[in-house]
Amino acid sequence: MLRGTATFGALKVALNCKKRMNVRAVVHRVCLIMGCYLVVENVDSLLTICSRRRKTGSGLVCVYIKYVSCCFAVQDQAGMMLLRVSLLCIAASSFHNAYSTTPRLSNEEPLKKTSATIRADEGEELDIRLPRSLRPLHYVIKLQPFINGNFSILGYVEVEMEVLEPTSNITLHMADIITKNDTVRVFSLNERAVVGIKEQHYDPERQFYIAHLEKQLEEGEKYVLSMDFLGSLGDLLHGFYKSAYKDIDGTTKRVAATMFQPTDARRAFPCFDEPALKATFEVHLARETWMTSLSNMPLAETRPVEGQEGWVWDRFERSVPMSTYLVAFVVSDFSHVKSSKDGHVQFRVWARRSVIDQAKYTASIAPKILNFYEKYFNIPFPLRKQDMIALPELSVQAMENWGLITSREDTLLHNPRVSTLANKANLVQVISHELAHNWFGNLVTPTWWEGLWLSEGFATYLGNLGMDYAEPTWKVLETLLIETLHGVMNMDSLATSRKISFPVGRPEEIKDIFDVDIVTMLPGASIIRMMSHFLGESTFRKGLTNFLGSFKYTNAEQDDLWEHLTAVAHQDGTLPRNVTVKTIMDTWTLQKGFPVIQVSRSMEGTSATISQGHILQLSPEGRNISNTHDSKWWVPLTYTCRNQANFNRTQAMVWMKDSEDSITITALPPKDQWVIFNLQETGYYRVSYDDHNWGLLIQQLRDDHEVIHVINRAQIIDDAMNLARTGHLNYTIALDVYSYLWKETAFLPWLTAMNNLHYITRMFKGKTGFGALKHYLLALTLPLYKAVGFDDNSEDPYLLKAKRRLAVEWACDLGHGHCLQQARALYRRWMLDPANESIISPDIKPTVYCHAIAEGGEAEWDFAWRRYLETDVSTETSVLLDALACTKETWILARYLEISLDPNTHMKRQDVAFVLSYIGRNEMGRHLVLNYLNEHWNKIYPYQKLMRGELLNLATRDFNTKTDLKNNPGAGHSKQFTVLYLTTEPLQYRKASEGHTRNKISRHVMMLQLLWGSPMGLKPDIVRYRLSLASSSLEETRHAETPSAGHRWNTVTVFIFTYQKH
């Protein structure tokens, strides 16, 4: 259709003139000529299509104009890039009244100017922030999405603005939107007159729409810009997007929903898309009468769409002032359950009609949690309603849009017969986190994205408090919170970890923060927890309330919070007058990592020298310690000792300043009594002691472990194992800590102990010592397995179930006969009676499914796959997808990978990345995933990019040989992708040191085996066997003193001697 026209020429020129074409720029040029603006939409999917067709050597440019599609070939001289451009350049007919005037807003605080720059291709700095001359006050947004039609959206926006500095242009964010240029109007509210537009312009790099005006806009005056536009419901799970699902009757239904954080509101409507540019919003959504629409605010009125039978307009109440990324709307035919309205907020939980009964638990628990926060902050929730909706597809687990929390189905829905305890815990944790955002994030918002850690850190920390309130028997403050802390310290000790607060500019960089959220957000939660303890809970709460009160409906930075906390802390006397919260916290947020506190007691034991250092698991140079030179922290020290054990004094007893190399603490007990630092592990640091104190702690654990607080028992295990891993503690000591475990009944120490063994087992995989290690681990786990049993009882308390899940998982993983036999038998019974949900209790399902499929063949796999296709319980589908990757048949895995990547299998887009990660975790499957990543690294869809680093991590974490490292797909890309830094550097490090570590551990495990077994009177042939294993391990490290099997005890001594010498 365009061939032979000027437009076609332009297209061809554009295609040919650049070797490495910028698709956006090309399409932009075409659109300019065609009199409309468009930022193409889904460039990534275009590129994927292009790359698929690359092989054919020629390609198509398909241009859709006025809904008529027309394809024609373009000979592309670069020979590589072929694209399919979908242009919806429609002269959208005016379908609204131009604009209406709106009253002014209350938040009149001037905006703080912050800047963010990006490096443009040519190398010059480009300011990607909107000009500060205008600020939005109020938006009217009218959208008519054709969900059941051609997926276009007829849109209209009017935005009322105040002029802060005289300007003659108006700049808005916009992406994937076509404006109808002749509908754009600018109206002066003061003069009641139209302001002429000279020229309109689109800057694709910055996603700016710019209207150049005929006259200057005057400071202090108010104007309204309005325009019609055309958008489309995308597929990439961002902006305003569509999803399909099967309804009760098997028909395909569609739902349209939004996901705007951080920079995708601009894809739904032109707007000032920065978090500090808050405004009020009046949303109008047109829908077909059999559907429902939802937005942030309650529905105000519904009236028919003129001239369109079967359509109505829903108008929602004007919102409170908020950031664009929090605006949300959903159009669906879902149903809902209401919570009982005890309070001023009406809760509704929405889901597909066939699964709506699974929404009851959320409806019952969410109001309680909201209520808790209202009391905690002493600030009421400002809206009258809170909707939560379980969407078939969402790029994140959940999103805290004000008044309309969106979530994935497997997160928000709960089926007590089928969902696991872990699912349930995740549900409460996520909704608790999202509800906490109502205060941290929604009411007070970080000024710019680098402050994101603050709202995410608080939502995570407070989310745990909300969760503890809702389900007190779960003891999340001493289970989940500590589990998270340990996980975070592990991540944060990588040389590649980042500062908690760091500058970002470009939209991709902003999204990058979310990519590595575990690194940036969770340490945030941990240092906030530390702060709440060193300030004291009451001071902390008062400070938060004052801060939120002062900045409500506006934006703030971390320094604003530190100021408010300092004021209260000085008032309450919980912080010395000459110290501010900023002084302390800057050392935690503006430098990366965390310290290790070395406690060295004097000969008499009564005093100790305390020093701080920075431990890294690895560094680019292959060294693992960055000593005291640059990184130093303000460390709140707390401690207790044997004769007056008190683990509740978590307020800082001594401050170690960032200027001090070491300090001395006196009045400690004599040397025969232990000391413990970091009570309840409230400080974000590790503690290392001298060997004598480690010995005393181990003895105490063996004699009476309950003298030590349960969190500190877990801390001792975690610190010891991680110090050993980095070479700061002898593995003999670290593994000696485990010797008390057979008496341990609490969940947290067990969980910590087992989590720390994952690394060791991975390093031993495929090595001669693995068999001996397995025996050692079984000997360790079996007492727990026997104590909790295999059979689940639905009435059992949460922590007992959690322990059983752990014990069963380990026993089966280690190949324990009874466990595997039970798993197989249960699965077989289920295969005979598939409709019976009570055969396998939910919490041991992941283990049972996985091992039955691993031990079984095609029949077991096919059965699970059928269940996946049939079940309507989303948590069950997750368990099944995971278990399907457990098969040991490589061909089945390959087939599984193929199925998951096939767009016609109806696997949810968000699930594909999970399947890849599950397959990558399987030894048999990791090469499949590595190949996939190698080939598709740059083309993985945006909604899967979040998983890219994780995928690589899972597929490579078992690497324990040099050959493995050579095949690392991340190596060539490490400069481009931050996420990858996280995984490639560990690999580099492993290259240097893990062979050594493995052998060290190997020898130690052998020794433990021998010592562990000796009191039970081992048969000589077993000893001989173990010694042969041990000696082969010794040979590996060229410690070739092969021990003789004949002299058992002598040999053990030789072993110990050999070990200690090295």
Contact pattern from residue 541 through residue 580 relative to Zn ion, giving x for each residue in contact according to CB under 5 A and a dash for the rest: ----------------------------------------
Options 188-196, 455-463, 480-488, 1003-1011: segment touching Zn ion (CB under 5 A): 455-463
Q: Verify binding: residue 1029, Zn ion, rule CB under 5 A.
A: no
**Nearest distance in Å: CB 459, Zn ion:** 5
Strand order in the sheet with 404-408: 335-338, 346-351, 385-391, 404-408, 398-399
Options 198-206, 453-461, 522-530, 800-808: segment touching Zn ion (CB under 5 A): 453-461
Comparing C-alpha atoms, which of 923, 922, 987 is closest to residue 949? 987
CA 429 to chain centre: 13
Instruction: Name which of 456 and 911 has its Cβ closer to Zn ion.
Output: 456
User: In 10 A of CB 952, how many CB atoms?
Assistant: 27
**Nearest distance in Å: CB 438, Zn ion:** 11
Q: What secondary structure does DSSP assign to 121-152, as a single string? A: TTS-EEE-SPPTTEEEEEEEEEEEE-TTTT-E
Instruction: Name which of 387 and 456 has its Cβ closer to Zn ion.
Output: 456
372 near 470, Cβ under 8 Å?
yes
**Nearest distance in Å: CB 281, Zn ion:** 21
Neighbour-count burial for 678-705, b at 16+ CB within 10 Å, e otherwise: bbbbbbbbbbbbeeebbebbbebbeeeb
User: In 10 A of CB 242, how many CB atoms?
Assistant: 20
Instruction: Name which of 476 and 916 has its Cβ closer to Zn ion.
Output: 476
Structure tokens at 18: 């650049």
Long-range CB contact pairs, 286-289, < 8 A, 24+:
286/142, 286/143, 286/144, 286/145, 286/154, 286/311, 286/312, 286/313, 286/314, 287/311, 287/312, 287/314, 287/331, 288/147, 288/148
Options 27-35, 334-342, 457-465, 700-708: segment touching Zn ion (CB under 5 A): 457-465
687 near 675, Cβ under 8 Å?
no
Q: What secondary structure does DSSP assign to 950-1006, as a single string? A: HHHHHHHTT--SHHHHHT-TTGGGTTT-HHHHHHHHHHHHHHHHHHHHHHHHHHHHH
Which residue's Cβ lies closest to Zn ion?
A: 459
Rounded CA-CA distance 567/565 in Å is: 5
**Nearest distance in Å: CB 531, Zn ion:** 19
Structure tokens at 1062: 């090295």
Comparing C-alpha atoms, which of 462, 422, 426, 438 is closest to residue 387? 438
Options 256-264, 311-319, 456-464, 799-807: segment touching Zn ion (CB under 5 A): 456-464
DSSP state of 743: G
**Nearest distance in Å: CB 463, Zn ion:** 8
Instruction: Name which of 238 and 998 has its Cβ closer to Zn ion.
Output: 238
**Nearest distance in Å: CB 239, Zn ion:** 19
Rounded CA-CA distance 822/804 in Å is: 14
Q: Verify binding: residue 459, Zn ion, rule CB under 5 A.
A: yes
Instruction: Name which of 237 and 782 has its Cβ closer to Zn ion.
Output: 237
Instruction: Name which of 525 and 1029 has its Cβ closer to Zn ion.
Output: 525
Instruction: Name which of 459 and 933 has its Cβ closer to Zn ion.
Output: 459
Q: Verify binding: residue 522, Zn ion, rule CB under 5 A.
A: no
**Nearest distance in Å: CB 500, Zn ion:** 15
Radius of gyration over alpha carbons of the chain, in Å?
A: 31
Task: Please list, in sequence order, all residues whose beta carbon lies within 8 angstroms of the beta carbon of residue 125, skipping any fewer than 6 positions away.
Answer: 117, 118, 119
**Nearest distance in Å: CB 494, Zn ion:** 23
Instruction: Name which of 170 and 435 has its Cβ closer to Zn ion.
Output: 435
Rounded CA-CA distance 971/985 in Å is: 9
**Nearest distance in Å: CB 396, Zn ion:** 9
Rounded CA-CA distance 139/281 in Å is: 5
Rounded CA-CA distance 429/462 in Å is: 10
Task: Please list, in sequence order, all residues whose beta carbon lies within 8 angstroms of the beta carbon of residue 513, skipping any fewer than 6 positions away.
Answer: 262, 449, 450, 452, 504, 520
Instruction: Name which of 450 and 736 has its Cβ closer to Zn ion.
Output: 450
Of residues 434, 509, 855, 860, which has the active-site annotation? 434
Instruction: Name which of 528 and 883 has its Cβ closer to Zn ion.
Output: 528
Q: How far apart are the first and last CA of the chain?
A: 78
**Nearest distance in Å: CB 204, Zn ion:** 30
The residue written with tokens 């173990």 in the block is 1026
Instruction: Name which of 274 and 456 has its Cβ closer to Zn ion.
Output: 456
According to DSSP, the residues that pair with 232 across neighbouring strands are 152
**Nearest distance in Å: CB 268, Zn ion:** 21
* Total residue length of the chain: 1062
Comparing C-alpha atoms, which of 457, 485, 469 is closest to residue 681? 485
Query: H-helix or E-strand containing 412?
Result: helix 409-412
Ranges of beta strands (E only) in 552-700 are 555-556, 595-601, 608-615, 625-626, 635-637, 639-641, 654-656, 662-665, 675-677, 686-689
Rounded CA-CA distance 144/329 in Å is: 12
Instruction: Name which of 369 and 459 has its Cβ closer to Zn ion.
Output: 459
Binding residues with Zn ion: total (CB under 5 A): 2
Task: Please list, in sequence order, all residues whose beta carbon lies within 8 angstroms of the beta carbon of residue 345, skipping any fewer than 6 positions away.
Answer: 367, 370, 381, 383, 384, 385, 386
Options 341-349, 459-467, 933-941, 1029-1037: segment touching Zn ion (CB under 5 A): 459-467
Contact pattern from residue 480 through residue 509 relative to Zn ion, giving x for each residue in contact according to CB under 5 A and a dash for the rest: ------------------------------
Residue type, 594: F
**Nearest distance in Å: CB 398, Zn ion:** 8
The residue written with tokens 């009149």 in the block is 108
Clarify whether 434 is annotated catalytic.
yes
Instruction: Name which of 399 and 711 has its Cβ closer to Zn ion.
Output: 399
**Nearest distance in Å: CB 445, Zn ion:** 12
Burial label for 664, CB within 10 Å (0-12, 13-18, 19+), is: exposed
Contact pattern from residue 407 through residue 446 relative to Zn ion, giving x for each residue in contact according to CB under 5 A and a dash for the rest: ----------------------------------------
According to DSSP, the residues that pair with 258 across neighbouring strands are 240
Options 34-42, 235-243, 360-368, 451-459: segment touching Zn ion (CB under 5 A): 451-459
Options 347-355, 449-457, 858-866, 902-910: segment touching Zn ion (CB under 5 A): 449-457
Tell me the catalytic residues.
434
Interface with Zn ion (CB under 5 A)? 456, 459
